[in-house]
Amino acid sequence: MPHDHHHHHIDPDAGDARVAWAVVVNMVLTLAQVVGGLLSGSLALIADALHNFSDAISLIIAFFARKIARRPADESMSFGYGRAEVVAALVNYTTLVVLALYLIYEGILRMLEPQPINGWLVVWIAVIALMVDLLTAALTYSMSKHSMNIRAAFLHNLADALGSVAVILAGTCVILWGWTWVDPVVTLLIAGYILWHVKAEAGGVIRVLMLGSPPDMEMSEVIAAMRAVPGVKDLHHLHLWQMEEHRAALQAHVVIDESDNGRQQQIGARIKQTLRDRFGIGHTTLDIELNSATCTNTRLIGH
């Protein structure tokens, strides 16, 4: 079963410029929402402002992570700095969880002690916020397809855009019917939506950091392909992991017959070519062993 691991990336400088602009508009919007929330008395609007501020912070983290990830490998980081983007994604998801828990706390308090709300001010500021959220999401959407770091920041903005829609509805309910209770309910809904998104996306980030195998690759298929190479008698100590989001690596001990002792390089090269062509695995380390001098107490996967 072939796997396509070739990805088209946006020019790094152009991508950095998009992220930088997204940071600027989110910072301006955050200030406007905080002022509007304080003047109107709307917790939902302040919640949206805090989420927007977290958007800006997530984009700043994403921006610097992109810069760090492009550094070449050196003595201290022999695999390179590509995982900086994965770490940044985890930081962003963690901040989203903290933010959601805070909003739940404040929403419950506001339900117990309702406050007067200026509905019109809430609606107008939320409309502006929605326009900025959509602009920011548009700036980062294409990049989010190829980077879990940018995807985490993009989801911040997507959740915030939906939060702005919810705030508009809350403000409208206050204007039409005086339902101030809708404001904290909307806050709780925003928090729940944030937690749902984190649950859906954070697993992939943790999988990379835990050296998990690529989710789009079946280990059994990789093993079968290696065993099908002429000259391969057995495999053990096999490790398959993601070095970065789009870079897989494999390490294994390969057992061959004594009669193939002079063909070690050819067999190893054939295995690497197979892994590269069929699965997109570009980093492969093989330890070739003779059948009469193989390791003892071996396991197929791991040590």
pLDDT tens, N- to C-terminus, the chain (303 residues):
444 444 444 455 556 677 777 777 777 777 777 777 777 777 667 776 776 777 677 777 777 877 888 888 888 888 888 888 788 888 878 888 888 888 888 788 878 877 677 778 778 877 887 887 777 777 667 666 666 667 766 776 777 777 778 778 888 888 888 777 887 888 788 788 778 878 877 888 888 888 888 888 899 999 999 999 999 999 999 999 988 777 899 999 999 988 888 888 999 999 999 999 999 998 999 999 988 677 777 889 887
Residue 118 — φ and ψ, nearest 5°? -90, 95
Boundaries of every domain in the chain: 12-209, 219-293
**pLDDT computed for residue 8 by the predictor:** 42
Report the C-alpha dihedral over residues 230, 237, 83, 161, rounded to 10 degrees. 90
Backbone φ/ψ region at 161: left (φ over 0), alpha (ψ -120 to 50), beta = alpha
Pair of tokens at residue 79:
């695999």
Residue 103 confidence (pLDDT): 80
H/E element holding 288? strand 283-290
The whole-angstrom separation of Cα 184 and Cα 42 is 9
Indicate yes or no: pTM above 0.75.
no
Q: Are 245 and 85 in contact (CB under 8 A)?
A: yes
Question: Strand, coil or helix: what is 130?
Answer: helix
Is 3.30.70.1350 the CATH number for 219-293?
A: yes
Residues 116-119: contacts with CB within 8 Å, 24+ apart?
116/41, 116/180, 117/40, 117/41, 117/42, 117/171, 117/174, 117/180, 117/183, 118/39, 118/40, 118/41, 118/42, 119/40, 119/171, 119/172, 119/173, 119/174, 119/175
Side chain identity, residue 4: D
| Full DSSP string of 225-242 | HHHTSTT--EEEEEEEEE
Fold of 12-209: Alpha-lytic protease prodomain-like (1.20.1510)
Amino acid identity at 138: A
Sequence-separated contacts (24+) of 166-169 with Cβ below 8 Å: 166/44, 166/190, 167/42, 167/44, 167/45, 167/48, 167/122, 167/126, 167/129, 168/122, 168/123, 168/126, 168/127, 168/130
C-beta of residue 266 within 8 angstroms of C-beta of residue 241? no
pLDDT of residue 93: 82
Q: Which residues pair with 255 in a beta bridge?
A: 234, 289
- The CA-based angle 92-94-100, given to 5 degrees, is 105
The sign of the dihedral angle between the CA atoms of 93, 94, 99, 101 is: positive
Q: How far is C-alpha 217 from the chain's CA centre?
A: 19
Partners of residue 239 on adjacent β-strands: 251
For the record, the structure tokens of 80 come out as 């390179």
